[in-house]
Amino acid sequence: MKYINGKIGSRITITILGILILSLFLYRFLFFVKDSFLFFAINDLLVITTFVFLSFYLLKIIKEKNPVPSSLVLNIGLINVFIFLVIIFSEKTLNLLFSNISNKINNPGLIESLIYTLYSLIFLVITAYLLITFKELYFHKQDRGNKTYFIAMLVFLGLTSISTLLFPSPEYDFINNTFLIISIVLIVINSIRISWIAFIVKKEKISLLLLSVIILILFIFNLANSGTNDFNGLVLTNFSPSFQKFFNLILLYGAIYFSVLFFTILFHIPTAEAFDRKAKEVSSLQYFSKLITRVLDFKELAETITDITTKVSSADAAWIDLFDDKNLKIIANKNIALVDADLINQFLLESGICNKITETKICNLNKFINKSSLSEKYGSVVISPLRSYNEIKGYLIAVRKNELIFYDEDKTAISTFSDYASVAIENSMLLEQSLEKERLEKELAVAREIQRKILPVKDPVISNLSIASVFIPAFEVGGDYYDYYNISKDKFGLVIADVSGKGISAAFVMAEIKGIFESLSRMIESPKEILTQANHILKDTLTKNYFVSALYGVIDLNKGEFYFSRAGHCPAILIRDGKVTTFRPSGIGLGLTNDEIFKENLEEFKVELLENDNLIFFTDGITEAKNNDLEDFGDERFSQILINYANENPDKITNEVIKEVITFSQEHPQYDDITLVILKWNKKNNLNGDKGWQNSAPQLKTKVM
């Protein structure tokens, strides 16, 4: 609606303007007698009305373009050039076209009258345009309070213009002069208020300075040549004496305005640089504070910081050092080679001149002996500590080249900025840490999942044997592995192993181990042979610093025999008649050495089983569980519990052991996986072999601490 209204409004304005101009023409043609007061009064009324409408129309057009002061100034300049050209050439040109037209100013014919009216109308437009432009300039970046002065000025300009018409006789000249003086005073007052200058950058100020001189000269020239004795002045006076006066007043305003403008800019230029820098500083900080609220890559952030540092200060180059353990590490550098930054670091931060500073400080490289090895002539340096939680995390450093030095304003700017930067760096690091932690946790969750999937789901129930096992994973997967093999009707196999290393890599090795033993246990019966083959495979596939400790054993259910080999694993324990026997046959861990040495040193051991014998298999997670004094749970505590509960069923025994281990180490985080497998030989409780598997119920597999 507003838009349509505006359109209709502007159409009406144009129509009224057209009517006004037309009536001006008609009026001037119809009434040749130009000596009555009435004629001048009506004439001026028409001219003033046209001028007012014209001004409003132009105001609207200019407002729509929303121009900046410099373009307004340029417009004023162009119009002045036009007036200048008209003043110089109009008389000659018109005389050429219409012979001796200039002699008929006071007594024009029809054509002359038409031309002079047209000529005057052009000046009417120009004057209105100048007035509107001045108004826009005046109100640019001004608060409303000053409106009164401008309106007062307009009123007095108007009064001065028509005063001659109202009081033509010389005795009233004083009224005329009073109005004129008041107008000039108001013009001066209004010209002084040029607030937009401050907001222009230095470069633009300099070009405006030149422009204002030229425009000033043009205004003065135009003013000097628009008097009542000049051709231009004569034409306009003839058109309307009031308008001619008003036009002169506007030119006067222009001359005063631009001379004030010239001096204002002149006085602003020395401080322009400082102002520019402050403005840049503010906008950089604004930009930066916007930036840090976004998720930022750490590297990107560091680069932005060095970049902005060179903008907020007069620095030529900047870089950031962060403490990595106790050494400083350059994480971003702008406009300076790493080698140079490093040398300056060494000289200022490590050798003592600006060592251990806690406040932003200006240092210099005057005493730097290796100055010649720098690729640029750096001299003055500002060092600002980056801190978080009152701890210095690093430094933001800025340098200037050649003989230029830093001043206190630079120091303040860099110091302020480094406070912002500290917060941003801290945020970014925390974010990165939490992402890294999340990634690690995910990785560990995957590792635990792999481990959970490859361990047996439940313990088998077999005739002549009671079996129980417990597995408690550490937070970081420890690489414990165990499994059972139903080799044949009479033979039951078992493996327990511990992969060196932790986490996802340990989980993958476990998966490999599972595959190896699963397939070997089907093909080979001898524990020694199986471990030798496993070593052969693992020696080639494992990374050099990885190895696996393993114990593989077979129980002959018919004969009641247990035979096993141990490849670097924790010994097997036998509890018989309340006594502990530890079997530790010779054997090297899997993947540690070549087949020959491995086999040579691997023993196979055989135990004849007696009723109620307990066979215990475990990983070092039990014996190396630690209490708060970093004491190990140890073999003795372990043996004692085994003896105490030797007559219980394996389930009970495993539970008691784990209970003790947990109680012992409850104040200390579990660092390694815990695995415990107990087999009890009880031939008297003989179940029928095959049924046993079917009746097996899920048993407690893992306990969560």
Partner 1 sequence: MAEFSTSVKDKGDVSIISLKGFLDAHTAPILETNFVELINKNRYKIVVDFNELAYISSAGLGVFMAFIEKIRENNGDIKLASMNDKVYNIFDLLGFPLLYEIFKSEDEAIKKFLEK
Q: Per CB under 8 A, does 642 bind partner 1?
A: no
Cβ(701)–Cβ(471) below 8 Å? yes
Q: Per CB under 8 A, does 79 bind partner 1?
A: no
Cβ(251)–Cβ(222) below 8 Å? yes
Distance separating alpha carbons of residues 237 and 131, to the nearest angstrom: 19
3-state SS class at 387: strand
Among 241, 254, 379, 568, binds partner 1 (CB under 8 A): 568
Structure tokens at 502: 């932790």
Shortest distance, CB of residue 295 to partner 1, whole angstroms? 29
Determine phi and psi for 169, rounding to 5 degrees: -70, 145
Among 245, 268, 569, 637, binds partner 1 (CB under 8 A): 569
Cα radius of gyration rounded to whole Å, the chain: 50
* Residue range at the interface with partner 1 (CB under 8 A); choices 279-287, 424-432, 561-569, 695-703: 561-569
Nearer to partner 1, 469 or 500 (CB): 500
Nearer to partner 1, 632 or 648 (CB): 632
Among 61, 85, 181, 597, binds partner 1 (CB under 8 A): 597
Count of C-beta atoms within a 10 Å radius of residue 215: 26
Q: How many residues bind partner 1 (CB under 8 A)?
A: 27
Neighbouring residues of 74: CB distance < 8 A, sequence distance ≥ 6? 211
Nearer to partner 1, 234 or 497 (CB): 497
* 632 bridge partner residues: 626
Place of tokens 């840490």: 433
Nearer to partner 1, 356 or 544 (CB): 544
Element (H, E) at 77: helix 69-97
Count of C-beta atoms within a 10 Å radius of residue 610: 12
Q: Per CB under 8 A, does 69 bind partner 1?
A: no
* Residue range at the interface with partner 1 (CB under 8 A); choices 175-183, 338-346, 499-507, 681-689: 499-507
Q: Per CB under 8 A, does 473 bind partner 1?
A: no
Shortest distance, CB of residue 299 to partner 1, whole angstroms? 24
* Residue range at the interface with partner 1 (CB under 8 A); choices 9-17, 461-469, 580-588, 684-692: 580-588
Distance separating alpha carbons of residues 590 and 9, to the nearest angstrom: 96
Q: Per CB under 8 A, does 593 bind partner 1?
A: yes
Shortest distance, CB of residue 430 to partner 1, whole angstroms? 22
* Residue range at the interface with partner 1 (CB under 8 A); choices 79-87, 174-182, 209-217, 579-587: 579-587
Burial pattern 426-445, b for ≥16 Cβ within 10 A else e, equals ebbeeeeeeeeeeeeeebbe
Nearer to partner 1, 36 or 601 (CB): 601
* Residue range at the interface with partner 1 (CB under 8 A); choices 95-103, 363-371, 422-430, 494-502: 494-502
Shortest distance, CB of residue 433 to partner 1, whole angstroms? 16
Cβ(591)–Cβ(535) below 8 Å? yes
Shortest distance, CB of residue 476 to partner 1, whole angstroms? 8
| Sheet of strand 604-608: strand arrangement | 480-486, 491-499, 548-556, 561-567, 604-608
Count of C-beta atoms within a 10 Å radius of residue 478: 29
Cβ(62)–Cβ(136) below 8 Å? yes
Among 425, 450, 592, 657, binds partner 1 (CB under 8 A): 592
Per CB under 8 A, contacts with partner 1 among 658-687 are 672
Q: Per CB under 8 A, does 618 bind partner 1?
A: no
Q: Per CB under 8 A, does 498 bind partner 1?
A: yes
Shortest distance, CB of residue 513 to partner 1, whole angstroms? 14
Count of C-beta atoms within a 10 Å radius of residue 483: 19
Nearer to partner 1, 13 or 593 (CB): 593
Cβ(700)–Cβ(470) below 8 Å? yes
Distance separating alpha carbons of residues 557 and 554, to the nearest angstrom: 9
Distance separating alpha carbons of residues 600 and 598, to the nearest angstrom: 6
Shortest distance, CB of residue 360 to partner 1, whole angstroms? 35
Among 295, 523, 630, 704, binds partner 1 (CB under 8 A): 630
Count of C-beta atoms within a 10 Å radius of residue 94: 19
Nearer to partner 1, 108 or 501 (CB): 501
Return contacts of 31-40, CB within 8 angstroms, 24+ apart: 40/165, 40/240, 40/241
* Residue range at the interface with partner 1 (CB under 8 A); choices 231-239, 324-332, 434-442, 592-600: 592-600
Q: Per CB under 8 A, does 651 bind partner 1?
A: no
Running DSSP on this structure, what letter comes out for residue 686? P
Structure tokens at 568: 């670097």
Q: Per CB under 8 A, does 501 bind partner 1?
A: yes
Shortest distance, CB of residue 660 to partner 1, whole angstroms? 20
Element (H, E) at 640: helix 634-644
Q: Per CB under 8 A, does 73 bind partner 1?
A: no
Shortest distance, CB of residue 506 to partner 1, whole angstroms? 9
Q: Per CB under 8 A, does 36 bind partner 1?
A: no
Q: At how many degrees (to 10) do helices 202-224 and 241-292 cross?
A: 180
Among 527, 589, 621, 650, binds partner 1 (CB under 8 A): 589
Shortest distance, CB of residue 505 to partner 1, whole angstroms? 10
Shortest distance, CB of residue 583 to partner 1, whole angstroms? 13
Q: Per CB under 8 A, does 549 bind partner 1?
A: yes
Element (H, E) at 103: none
* Residue range at the interface with partner 1 (CB under 8 A); choices 242-250, 251-259, 390-398, 587-595: 587-595
Structure tokens at 35: 């000596």
Shortest distance, CB of residue 599 to partner 1, whole angstroms? 12
* Residue range at the interface with partner 1 (CB under 8 A); choices 93-101, 211-219, 513-521, 586-594: 586-594
Q: Per CB under 8 A, does 545 bind partner 1?
A: yes
Which residue type sits at 631? E
Structure tokens at 481: 């592995």
Element (H, E) at 34: none
246 to 79, 120, 183: CA distances (angstroms): 17, 13, 11
Q: Note the residues at the interface with partner 1 (CB under 8 A).
A: 498, 500-502, 544-547, 549, 567-571, 584, 586-589, 592-593, 597, 601, 620, 630, 632, 672
